[in-house]
Amino acid sequence: MILIDQNLSYRLAQFFKKKRVIAHHVYADELHEADDMKIWQHAEKSGYTILTKDSDFEVIQSVKGFPPKIIILKCGNAKTEKIINILDASWVQIIDFLKKDTLGIIEVS
């Protein structure tokens, strides 16, 4: 399950749905005004992997460890269509990451 951070479009949930992966935007979980720690705690409690462009989650994970896992997008202020292309091109790598219990963070660009 993927939790899409507030710095990304809610439309990314449709991409994951097509890939048969459950994804919610933070807005759907009523976290659109939450700080990073609250989002982190929700993801940890609910079993989500966080999808974000926010490097603050890397800092939190360096202190707290994982879960939750984090997918960091390294693409700057890209349009949603470009982000979908990046996710699609990295899909095999992302699925492999989601299946492994030994990895806590992945960067895709």
Summarised one tens digit per residue, pLDDT across range 81-102 is 999 999 999 999 999 999 998 8
What's the domain range around 6?
2-108
Average pLDDT score over the chain: 93
- How many domains does the chain fold into? 1
Q: What is the pLDDT of residue 2?
A: 97
DSSP 101: S
Q: Residue 105 corresponds to which amino acid?
A: I
DSSP 80: H
Summarised one tens digit per residue, pLDDT across range 46-68 is 999 999 998 899 999 999 988 99
Beta strands in the chain (DSSP E): 2-4, 23-25, 49-52, 70-73, 105-108
Length of the chain: 109
CATH number at residue 77: 3.40.50
- Parallel/antiparallel/unpaired status of strands 49-52 and 105-108: unpaired
Query: Structure pTM?
Result: 0.94
Mean per-residue pLDDT, 33-54: 94
